[in-house]
Amino acid sequence: MATNLPQIPGARKKGVVLISSEGDLKKLDAYLINDTVCVDGPSSGLVLKIAKLIYEKYKVSVKVISTEPFSGQLTEGIQVVNSPVQEIVGEGRAEAVKFKDGKAVGVCLVIFVDKDMPDLPGEQAKAELMPQLLVELGTKGAQAVLNLTRQSLDSAISQKNRESKIEFPETNYYFPLINALLNIEVKNLQDCLAALAQAEVLANNQAASSGLFVPSPDGLLNKGLATLICEEILAALAVLNQEHPKEGLGFIPDKILRSLGLQLVDGRIAGIAVILGPAKDEQSAVELVRDFQSKSIVSLLAGNVNGNTFRQQLQNQGVGLGLENYIVSLGDDYLSAIYAVNFAVRAPLMYGGNKPGQWQAIADYIRNRVPAFVLLLSHVDELLVATGLGVLAFGLPIITDLVVPQLGKIDTTLFEALVTEQDYRKLVSKCILTRGIKVKMSQVAVPVPYAAAFEGERVRKEQMAVEFGGKASQAIEFLSSQDESSITDGNVELIGSDIDQLPAGSKALPLAIVVEVFGRKMQKDFEPILERQIHRFTNYCMGLMHMGQRDMVWIRISKDTYSKGFRLKHLGVILHAMLHSEYSAIVDKVQVKLYTNQDDVTRISLNAQQIYNQRDERLAGMTDESVDTFYSCLLCQSFAPNHVCVVTPERLGLCGAYSWLDAKASFEIIPSGPNQPILKGNLLDGRLGQWDNINTFVQQKSNQTIEAVSMYSLMDGPQSSCGCFECIVAIIPEANGVMLVHRDYAGMTPSGMSFTTLAGSVGGGVQTPGFLGVGKLYILSKKFISAEGGLARVVWMPKELKEVLGDKLKSRVQELGQGDLLEKIADETVATSSEELLVFLKKVAHPALTMEPII
Interface contacts to ligand SF4, rule CB under 6 A: 262, 633, 635-636, 645, 653-655, 657-658, 722, 724
Q: How far is the CB of 659 from ligand SF4 (least distance, A)?
A: 9
Which residue, 107 or 645, is less far from ligand SF4 as judged by CB? 645
CB of 723 to ligand SF4, least distance (A): 8
Shortest separation between residue 261's beta carbon and ligand SF4, angstroms: 8
Which residues, in sequence order, are CB contacts of 364 under 8 Å at separation 6+?
Answer: none
CB closer to ligand SF4, 15 vs 528: 528
Q: How far is CA 27 from CA 33, 111, 370, 402, in A?
A: 12, 11, 26, 28
Whether 300 contacts 272, CB under 8 Å: yes
- Find the shortest distance in angstroms from Cβ 647 to ligand SF4: 6
Closer by beta carbon to ligand SF4, 263 or else 491: 263
Nearer to ligand SF4 among residue 474 and residue 710 (C-beta): 710
- Closest to ligand SF4 by CB, 365 vs 478, is 365
Q: What contacts 340, CB < 8 A, 6 or more positions away?
A: 272, 274, 300, 302, 330, 372
Q: Which CB sits closer to ligand SF4, 469 or 765?
A: 765
Q: Helix (H, G, I), strand (E, B), or coil: what is residue 648?
A: strand
Which H or E run contains 109? Answer: strand 109-113
Beta-strand relationship, 37-40 and 109-113: parallel
Closest CA to 664 of 529, 772, 560: 529
Using CB atoms, what's the residue nearest to ligand SF4? 653
Quote the CA–CA distance of 65 and 47 in Å, as a whole number.
Answer: 8
CB of 479 to ligand SF4, least distance (A): 23
CB of 34 to ligand SF4, least distance (A): 22
Is the Cβ–Cβ distance between 684 and 690 less than 8 Å? yes
> Would you say 552 and 469 are in contact if contact means Cβ atoms under 8 Å apart?
yes
Q: Cα(first)–Cα(last) distance of the chain, in Å?
A: 72
Question: How many whole angstroms separate alpha carbon 759 and alpha carbon 388?
Answer: 31
Q: For residue 686, what are the contacts with CB-CB under 8 A and spacing of at least 6?
A: none
Min CB(675)–ligand SF4 separation in Å: 8
- Least separation in angstroms between CB 354 and ligand SF4: 18
- DSSP H helices in 566-686: 569-583, 598-620, 660-669
Q: Based on the number of CB atoms within 10 Å of its own CB, is 461 exposed (0-12), middle (13-18) or buried (19 or more)?
A: exposed
Nearer to ligand SF4, 478 or 660 (CB): 660
Q: Is 300 within 8 Å of 214 (Cβ atoms)? A: no
Neighbour count for residue 376 (Cβ, 10 Å): 25
What is the total residue count of the chain?
A: 855
Q: State which residue, 310 or 630, has the beta carbon closest to ligand SF4.
A: 630
CA-to-CA dists, residue 97 to 29, 88, 89, angstroms:
21, 5, 6
User: 684: buried, middle or exposed (CB in 10 Å: 19+, 13-18, 0-12)?
Assistant: middle
Q: How far is the CB of 656 from ligand SF4 (least distance, A)?
A: 8
Closer residue to ligand SF4 (CB): 139 or 719: 719
Nearer to ligand SF4, 577 or 774 (CB): 774
Side chain identity at residue 225, one-letter code: L
Name the minimum Å distance from CB 262 to ligand SF4. Answer: 5
Q: Which is nearer to ligand SF4, 404 or 654 (CB)?
A: 654
DSSP assignment string, 624-645: STT-SEEEEE-GGGGTSTT--E
Coil/strand/helix, residue 14: strand
Phi-psi domain of 543 (left: phi exceeds 0; alpha: psi -120 through 50; beta: other): left
Tell the smallest beta-carbon distance from residue 625 to ligand SF4 (Å). Answer: 21
Beta bridge partners of 475: 511
When the beta carbons of 635 and 854 are compared against ligand SF4, the nearer one is 635
Is 619 exposed, middle or buried, given 0-12, 13-18 or 19+ CB atoms closer than 10 A? middle
Q: Crossing angle of helices 424-435/282-294, nearest 10°?
A: 40
Nearer to ligand SF4, 572 or 773 (CB): 773
**For residues 338 and 330, what is the distance between their CA atoms, to the nearest angstrom?**
9
CA distance 329 to 321: 8
> What is the SS3 assignment for 362?
helix
Looking at the Cβ atoms of 153 and 766, the one nearer to ligand SF4 is 766
CB of 765 to ligand SF4, least distance (A): 10
- Work out how close the CB of 593 gets to ligand SF4 at its nearest, in angstroms, rounded to a whole number: 33
Closer residue to ligand SF4 in complex, CB, 274/772: 772
Closest contact distance (angstroms) between CB of 662 and ligand SF4 is: 9
Between the alpha carbon of residue 136 and those of residues 385, 644, 669, the distances in Å are: 10, 48, 55
In the complex with ligand SF4, the residue whose CB is nearer, 387 or 642, is: 642
Burial 789-815 (b: 16+ CB within 10 A, else e): bbbbbbbbbbeebeebbeeebeebbee
Smallest distance, ligand SF4 to C-beta of residue 635, A: 4
Distance CA 635, CA 777 (A): 20
Q: Which is nearer to ligand SF4, 466 or 722 (CB)?
A: 722
Q: What b-and-e string marks burial along 218-237, b requiring 16 or more CB atoms within 10 Å of the CB?
A: bbbbbbbbbbbbbbbbbbbb
Q: How far apart are CA 67 and CA 63, in angstroms?
A: 13
In the complex with ligand SF4, which residue's Cβ is closer, 595 or 778?
A: 778
